[in-house]
Amino acid sequence: MGLCRGSEAGSSSGHRLRVGVSALCGWGRAVPSPHRAAPPPCDVCGPHPASSWAVMGGADDVDLPRAFVLMAAEIGLWVILRPGPYICSEMDLGGLPSWLLQDPGMRLRTTYKGFTEAVDLYFDHLMSRVVPLQYKRGGPIIAVQVENEYGSYNKDPAYMAYVKKALEDRGIVELLLTSDNKDGLSKGIVQGVLATINLQSTRELQLLTTFLFNVQGTQPKMVMEYWTGWFDSWGGPHNILDSSEVLKTVSAIVDAGSSINLYMFHGGTNFGFMNGAMHFHDYKSDVTSYDYDAVLTEAGDYTAKYMKLRDFFGSISGIPLPPPPDLLPKMSCEPITPVLYLSLWDALKYMGEPIKSEKPINMENLPVNGGNGQSFGYILYETSITSSGVLSGRVRDRGQVFVNTVSIGFLDYKTTKIAVPLIQGYTVLRILVENRGRVNYGENIDDQRKGLIGNLYLNDSPLKKFRIYSLDMKKSFFQRFGLDKWSSLPETPTLPAFFLGSLSISSTPCDTFLKLEGWEKGVVFINGQNLGRYWNIGPQKTLYLPGPWLSSGINQVIIFEETMAGPALQFTETPHLGRNQYIKVTGWAGETEFLSPASS
């Protein structure tokens, strides 16, 4: 038994394929490394498919999934393509573009016209590139997933049939799959599509395989996502899953006659601002690292899980496995001290005229980026006030409040009011709002607009006449700040601020990890690339810096720090992702059990 091309839900080639393990590493979370002469680590676990998400983004992004598919074919892997349009994957808005939220009536993941028009355009671009790469056309794509875990959302009974038809109308002929966890499996079944399951425990395996047998008989069984670890949230523990537990569950899945996809096989990184968030009882945004305690680490290093699974799959495949390739080296560097500095308030002078509005405008509806609004980063609101009082409003996600340039506190989901003192003379009220990441899973994804949502009130009276600055921190954002705009670092810098330093490398650059001890919260940019967020509340204490982002010679380092600057930046060969917390996940968020913590 196993995943089969040649059932009523698949193609008619008559071939049978057991998917023993899928080496999944989302293309958006990995940085290409130089080709190795030896087989890649996924290959030495045996010849298997790779599973790849495609993200619904701009026209510039649609060639990336094709490149991923071609790379998989080059190293001898089959591909299960998961084109969404919604993918979850702990990415901002589940991989959907934020400009969809400009429509006040938008209903994501439904047959609402405003959504399906965007999906049709996305599929038109993407499918024209990947349809020729299907198995029947000599390519590596053996199956395509229809949306993702829709049974847990299930707001429109016509939606999944629409997505299925949209794929088929554009030339998809390979096996179609759905993918659902235990909470959504019963509602996620689609006629003519093979249902697969997502899980982490052997108990769920027994429940879900019994259900699958009842609804689709002896058709091939597949665990589309066996969660090899878990993601982390700021302020929480670093979640890990014991390698022996992983081996036991994988063995049980194989013994049940099921194919399996390991999610994640290769950890990754939420570079830039791409991380998602969860909001059930409390809002929790995901950390920059997407190491996930996966089979291979964020940097591609081996783990105990890798060695145990390699031995296991080698014992059942009957195929001699090549030795694991040498790992890419890591490096540590001398600490660097920023020497130049630009306060946010001085930076505003070089950003052109602000957007002027009678009322606050949320991030997505700002008239910037050719009408597409602002997707990520920060947004600064300014207005004048003439009295003290209590400030209140709906801030998404975290707003630092200033009177002139003096910070007086924060507004967020829990703190919705703050006392504002009056300073003699001209008084400017400022709120620097950070989009910490849009929710990627749950019923409230339609409600993910960022910035100030609605009016901002002082003593229950709405404030007017705002000046708004878009601080998206793209490469073009920093091009405004030539070296002549920066000044020497003062002993007591005014924050928030940008700090500029340089990293000198005399040899061939290797991967490294950046430590920001003494810094509190902000973002790091290396040679113009957004490395991601840091925050001293943890659990993550280092940022992964890929060698391909560095060059021999001088490398530019910019830090945007919100509240407290440290003395230097350090570089180490080893990551520190926080205090480990062993987990046993029996369901989705809210059903996670934490067991026996230990130091990492």
Q: Which residues are catalytic?
A: 149, 225
Token look-up 């998602």 returns 276
Alpha-carbon Rg for the chain, nearest whole angstrom, is 25
- Contact 112/48 with Cβ under 8 angstroms? no
3-state class (DSSP) for residue 320: coil
Type and span of the H or E element at 178: strand 175-180
Phi and psi torsions of 361, nearest 5°: -115, 130
233 contacts 536 by C-beta, under 8 angstroms: no
DSSP 400-437: EEEETTEEEEEE-SS--EEEEPPPSSSEEEEEEEE---
Q: Give the separation between CA 555 and CA 528, rounded to whole angstroms.
A: 10
Residues 6+ apart with CB under 8 A from 482: none
At 99, list the tokens. 């400009």
Q: Can you tell me the distance from the alpha carbon of 187 to that of 178, in angstroms, rounded to the nearest whole number?
A: 11
Cβ contact 92:434 at 8 Å: no
Cis omega (within 30 of 0) on the bond before 539? Answer: yes
Distances (CA, A) of 57 to 28, 77, 127, 256: 11, 25, 14, 38
In terms of Cα–Cα distance, which of 203, 149, 92 is closest to 585?
A: 203
Assign residue 158 a region (left: φ > 0; alpha: ψ between -120 and 50; beta: otherwise). alpha
539: left (phi over 0), alpha (psi -120 to 50) or beta: alpha
> Which residues have C-beta within 8 Å of that of residue 234, sequence separation ≥ 6?
284, 285, 286, 287, 436, 535, 537, 538
45 closest CA partner among 18, 20, 71: 20
Q: Strand 406-411 and strand 378-385: pairing?
A: unpaired
Fill in the amino acid letter for 386.
T
Q: What angle do CA 34, 36, 40 make, to 5 degrees?
A: 110
Contacts of 134 (CB under 8 A, 6+ apart): 141, 171, 172, 173, 174
CA angle 22/25/31 to nearest 5° reads 150
- Cα-based distances in Å from 157 to 53, 109, 149, 446: 24, 11, 14, 18
Residue 379: what residue type?
A: I
Q: What is the dihedral sign for C-alpha 324, 269, 536, 498? A: positive
